[in-house]
Amino acid sequence: MWQGSGLGAGTAVLLLLSVALLLPHLHLEGPEEEPPGSSMADTGTLPKLREDFRMQNKSVFILGASGETGQVLLREILKENLFSKVTLIGRRKIEFEEEAYKHVNQEVVDFEKLDEYSSAFQGHDVGFCCLGTTRSKAGADGFVRVDRDYVLKSAELAKAGGCKHFNLLSSKGADKASSFLYLQVKGEVEAKVEEFNFDRYTIFRPAVLLCNRKESRPAEWLARKFFSSLPTSWSKDHSVPITTVVRAMLNNLVMPSDKKMELLDNQAIHNLGKAEDVDKP
Ligand SMILES: NC(=O)c1ccc[n+]([C@@H]2O[C@H](COP(=O)([O-])OP(=O)(O)OC[C@H]3O[C@@H](n4cnc5c(N)ncnc54)[C@H](OP(=O)(O)O)[C@@H]3O)[C@@H](O)[C@H]2O)c1
């Protein structure tokens, strides 16, 4: 949530300190009604649904499989053997040593010329998009190029290539009318992907992703430290472990749905992701 939002590390520190001071004065009790996702997570039928899904021999592509979320997603997809074919679409080949990865296909593409790589997007039933960069890493224009243009072009090619279920990793607070570039871009992309009219389109809106990120991102590191020091019920509103996001993605995947569009906010991700924890790395 912090990445690319235009906040420098110093501003982020000040914001976190202000929130810390305000927290004791806030009324933070959750709503009484059952939060979205919890009934699905508690059905106890997940193993059966997973088996049914496997039997359909579907194929999947993942964009951003070298990233923090994409890596965990790929690992769990392979562990659960959910698809008969797994393809990674990325700007570079990823080296894998483990046996489990030996049948993974890799399509190396130039995202600036994606139209020339339309064949990479052909014939996948399901797609997951975990692409993204930060404003501090790529600049404002670079961030928009990756998080909006690359994502939208990929979704367009995926739809043309026959993808039925597109899963988009977006962000808490995504809002095309936001004055924050990060949230505005996320909201705009969510809305534009919907126009591609996938049979099923699922948007995940996690808050700050909790993981041991290899890349140094000071503001995110601080946010993680801050949220992990809060009581669980508070930190759950503002953060979520990547393993929980992935669990929610895969639990949702195997649950048949007649909804054309599903939007899972941070609370729903926690609920759906709590059914079974994925292995910690
Ligand atoms: N971090 C958070 O707290 C947070 C919170 C909510 C939502 N999100 C969103 O969740 C998504 C995934 O986040 P993450 O932290 O898992 O991502 P990440 O670790 O930063 O990985 C990003 C992925 O995008 C690829 N990518 C980046 N720049 C690229 C470029 N110029 N061309 C082609 N590919 C490029 C990376 O490939 P390479 O390995 O080749 O660089 C990598 O596979 C992002 O959209 C992010 O905005 C993040």
Look at residue 29 in the predicted model and tell me its pLDDT.
35
Residue-number span of the structural domain to which 74 is assigned: 44-270
Domain count, the chain: 1
Per cent of the chain over pLDDT 90 is: 71
Cα dist from 37 to 188, 205, 258, 268, 271, whole Å: 25, 13, 15, 5, 5
Atom of ligand 1 nearest to the CA of 145: 31
Does 10 fall in a domain?
A: no
Answer yes or no: 182 catalytic: yes
Is 38 domain-assigned?
no
221 pLDDT tier (thresholds 50, 70, 90): confident
Half-sphere exposure of 34 (CA within 13 A, CB side): 8
pTM for the complete prediction?
A: 0.85
35 lies in a domain? no
Q: Is residue 68 part of a domain?
A: yes
Residue 261 falls inside a structural domain: yes
Identify the pLDDT of residue 27. Answer: 34
pLDDT in tens, 227-260: 677 777 777 888 999 999 999 999 999 999 999 9
The torsion of the CA quartet 179, 6, 133, 248, rounded to 10 degrees, works out to: -60
Ligand 1 contact, 187 CB (< 6 A): no
Instruction: For residue 186, indicate whether it is catalytic.
Output: yes
Nearest alpha carbon to residue 73 among 3, 158, 134, 130: 130
* CATH code where residue 122 lies: 3.40.50.720
Residue 33, class by beta-carbon neighbours within 10 Å (0-12 exposed, 13-18 middle, 19+ buried)? exposed
What is the per-residue pLDDT across 67-117, written as a single tens digit (0 to 9) for each? 999 999 999 999 999 999 999 999 999 999 999 999 999 999 999 999 999
Question: Is 172 inside a domain boundary?
Answer: yes
Residue 276 lies in a domain: no
1 is a domain residue: no
pLDDT grade for 214, boundaries at 50, 70 and 90: low
Atom from ligand 1 closest to the CA of residue 242: 16
Q: Of residues 153, 159, 172, 186, which has the active-site annotation?
A: 186
- pLDDT of res. 5: 41
